[in-house]
Amino acid sequence: MHEPVPTTMQQLVEINTLLANTASRLWDLSTAIQAQHKPKNSPHPGLYDCLSSSLHLLDHTLNEKLLPARLALAKTHNQSIRSIMSLPKEILSSIFVSAVYDPSDKKYPFPGRTDMKNHLCQIYRRVHSLLEVCTRWRNVGIACTRLWNIVPLSIAPDGSRRMLSTELSLQRARGDNLYLVAFSPSSLHLFSEKLEGHWHRLSNLNIWSDHSSPTVIRDLLDVVIKGGAPQSISKLSLIRSSWTWQNSDQQSQPSLHAQLARLEPQFSQLLYSLTALRVSNVRMDWRRVNFSERLVELWISDVKLHGSSTITAFLEMLSSARRVRDLAIMSTDMTLEDDEIFPSSTVSLSELEVLHLGNLSLNCLRVLLTAISPGAYYTTLDLREGINYYDSTYDEFVERDFALLKARKIDRLIVSSEDTFPWNSTLGLRRLLESVPTATSLALCFYTFKAKLLKALTSPEPSNDTVTPNATFPRLQTLEFFAFESPSPLGDLIEEFKILVRSHSIQKMVIECDVSTSDYDQQDEEDEFEDEEDEFEQSEDELEQSEDELEDNGDELEDEEYKFEDDELVKWLKVNIPEFYACSRSFENGYPIGMPIWRLWDV
């Protein structure tokens, strides 16, 4: 049963009701008197004295009673609210974990491209910022084991070893399920001494190798396996920074299996028992990689597969991941020896939920789209080649490739404007979109806003013989423009945008664009207006201006700097698109969205 409300609280409620009723009655009487009294009428006897007395009483009551009463209630109200400083330790710990590991809005479409190393630094900065607030927060933070689950093996920017960070994490985590994060640690034996007796507590390995210590992946796995950790490891992330192979062919390097041959079968058993594996720019012997039904996540990036037998082994490896739910294959190339043909294997993944294919060579794209069985899973297709150079590129895209896309369910498409790619032109882009009629999400990169481009994105109205609006063209719900340029204010294209929006079911739109309002930049070399030049010619006198006039005009241009929030189109989109974002193009992220960022495992 609920405890009875204290008598004083009951009285306060009753008095508040009475006060509200009295104030309402006072307002009615006051307005009625005002309406009845006209300046030309003779004042009612005693009216002046009555009104003066009423005003005096109101002032006294308001200043001497009501305002002090309000102040007293407000102070009591504020004191009754519990400060974050007085929250129970369990709640405070939960807040700390959220602030450290998940501080950003995941819906925000312009995330910084944070790699694994910077992500780790961010986490540690947040932890130590919390510890510095006060003694109580420091004690709560130190006692919160989830804040110390990451065990770093790294070198500080000044070159010193972060041995203390390793020790503190091992001490304060107090339990298993630890995340070992290694960034090319020199003097690995010193870190190994600190981890002696703790290997069994590790469940996740994140190893990042660069040119300074190219053997760190082999060396650390050697130590981990010898330490008896394989049985506890469930997630493994191996990445060799892309420029490690800069001066050598990946195929000429020994595979990781060959480097760890003396630790077989333990290494193969480690891979077999994983629930998640991420491999980037690390050569594997795919013939010896086999997964159990525990594997649910597989990311493979920056891999070169040469020869029909190697490609076949790769596809057989994929087939062994029967329970995988999240599969990403990125920046991968497939090539053949002379007189070889690509294998026609079938990869059946019945429980697949998400498939990401990105930055692949054309050969690799053809093989994977043919081999991986279609299904209800969500497919993202990223047709950008990035910094990799392949023998088979998208400039060789032919009709059978468009047909291959149309035979698949593509949910999200990401493309960029490349000089030699078919979709660099509006006609080619239109042809590509017609090949992915099931897509609901489209991201375009490095294009220029033009009326012709927006028209190419506009879905045609369904004809009488069309079964559904999506039969021949995507019906988009998400449309994103990244790293775009516009030679004029976006508002100049408002009518084209309105037609585009009405032709789809857009719920989310992102515009990242560098807008130039220079008259020279507004000249479009591809427009069909060359024959009308004479109509726009101005006399030489009209174009001449004095230096003073030019300076004045320059000042006016500075004052009229283009702002997104003031653009007519941006205002319209904010009203008509449920989730809309716009910002100027950021040149810090030279290569925008699409490819999953190689980060720490979710902690």
Q: How far is CA 291 from CA 281, 314, 346, 374, 575, in A?
A: 20, 12, 17, 21, 50
pLDDT > 70: what percent of the chain? 77
What gap in Å lies between CA 346 and CA 318, rounded to an integer?
A: 10
Residue 417 has pLDDT above 60, yes or no: yes
Q: How many CA atoms lie within 13 A of 116 on its CB side?
A: 29
Map residue 478 onto helix, strand or coil.
strand
Lowest-confidence segment of 287-301, 349-363, 457-471 by average pLDDT? 457-471
153-210 pLDDT, tens digit each: 875 554 455 677 888 888 898 888 888 888 766 666 667 777 777 888 888 988 888 7
Map residue 358 onto helix, strand or coil.
strand
The pLDDT assigned to 222 comes to 87
Residue 436 has pLDDT above 80, yes or no: yes
pLDDT > 90: what percent of the chain? 35
* Beta-strand runs (E) in 370-419: 378-382, 412-416
Q: How would residue 229 be classed by pLDDT, with cut points 50, 70 and 90? A: low
9-54 pLDDT, tens digit each: 888 888 888 988 988 998 888 888 888 877 666 666 777 788 888 8
355-383 pLDDT, tens digit each: 999 989 999 999 999 999 999 999 999 99
The pLDDT assigned to 34 comes to 82
What gap in Å lies between CA 323 and CA 310, rounded to an integer?
A: 23
Q: How would residue 109 be classed by pLDDT, with cut points 50, 70 and 90? A: low
Lowest-confidence segment of 80-84, 317-321, 448-452, 526-530 by average pLDDT? 526-530
Direct distance between the N- and C-terminal alpha carbons of the chain, in angstroms, rounded to an integer = 42
Contact call for residues 467 and 440 (beta carbons, < 8 A): no
**463/226: higher pLDDT:** 226
Q: How would residue 82 be classed by pLDDT, with cut points 50, 70 and 90? A: low
The pLDDT assigned to 550 comes to 44
Question: For the range 416-419, what are the long-range contacts, defined as Cβ-Cβ under 8 Å and sequence gap of 24 or more?
Answer: 416/383, 416/384, 416/444, 416/445, 416/446, 416/447, 417/444, 417/445, 417/446, 417/447, 417/448, 418/384, 418/385, 418/394
Q: Alpha-carbon dihedral of residues 398, 402, 403, 405, nearest 10 degrees? A: 140
Mean pLDDT over all residues of the chain?
81
What gap in Å lies between CA 497 and CA 451, rounded to an integer?
A: 9
Burial 22-50 (b: 16+ CB within 10 A, else e): eeeeeeeeeeeeeeeeeeeeeeeeeeeee
The pLDDT assigned to 183 comes to 78
Among the listed residues 568, 564, 556, the one whose alpha carbon sits nearest the alpha carbon of residue 584: 564
Q: Which of 234-248, 363-377, 416-430, 463-477 has the highest mean pLDDT?
A: 363-377
Contact call for residues 218 and 190 (beta carbons, < 8 A): no
What gap in Å lies between CA 220 and CA 197, rounded to an integer?
A: 15
Q: How many CA atoms lie within 13 A of 523 on its CB side?
A: 6
DSSP 515-584: E---TTTT--TTSS-GGGGGGG---HHHH---HHHHHHHHHHHHHT---GGG-HHHHHHHHHSSEEEEEE
Map residue 271 onto helix, strand or coil.
helix
- What mean pLDDT comes out for the span 313-328? 96
The pLDDT assigned to 290 comes to 94
- What mean pLDDT comes out for the span 567-596? 76
Residue 147 has pLDDT above 60, yes or no: yes
Contacts of 8 (CB under 8 A, 6+ apart): none
Contact call for residues 361 and 334 (beta carbons, < 8 A): yes
Tokens of residue 314, six digits: 């790769």
- What mean pLDDT comes out for the span 517-542? 44
What gap in Å lies between CA 436 and CA 439, rounded to an integer?
A: 6
The pLDDT assigned to 573 comes to 95
Q: How would residue 534 be classed by pLDDT, with cut points 50, 70 and 90? A: very low
The pLDDT assigned to 535 comes to 41
Residue 542 has pLDDT above 70, yes or no: no
DSSP code, position 416: E
| Number of alpha helices (DSSP H) and beta strands (DSSP E) in the chain | 20, 14
Q: How many residues does the chain have?
A: 603
382-409 pLDDT, tens digit each: 998 755 556 667 878 889 999 999 999 9
The pLDDT assigned to 228 comes to 74
What gap in Å lies between CA 94 and CA 505, rounded to an integer?
A: 39
- The pTM for the full model equals 0.76
Neighbours of 319 (CB within 10 A): 17
What gap in Å lies between CA 380 and CA 397, rounded to an integer?
A: 18
**324/122: higher pLDDT:** 324
* Beta-strand runs (E) in 37-161: 150-153
**402/593: higher pLDDT:** 402
The pLDDT assigned to 473 comes to 94
Q: Which of 16-25, 179-188, 424-433, 519-528 has the highest mean pLDDT?
A: 424-433
Tokens of residue 363, six digits: 């050969």
For 175-213, the three-class secondary structure string (H helix, E strand, C coil) is CCCEEEEEECCCCHHHHHHHHCCCHHHEEEEEEEECCCC
What gap in Å lies between CA 64 and CA 58, rounded to an integer?
A: 10
> Judging by DSSP bridges, how do beta strands 354-358 and 178-183 pair with one another?
unpaired
Residue 483 has pLDDT above 70, yes or no: yes
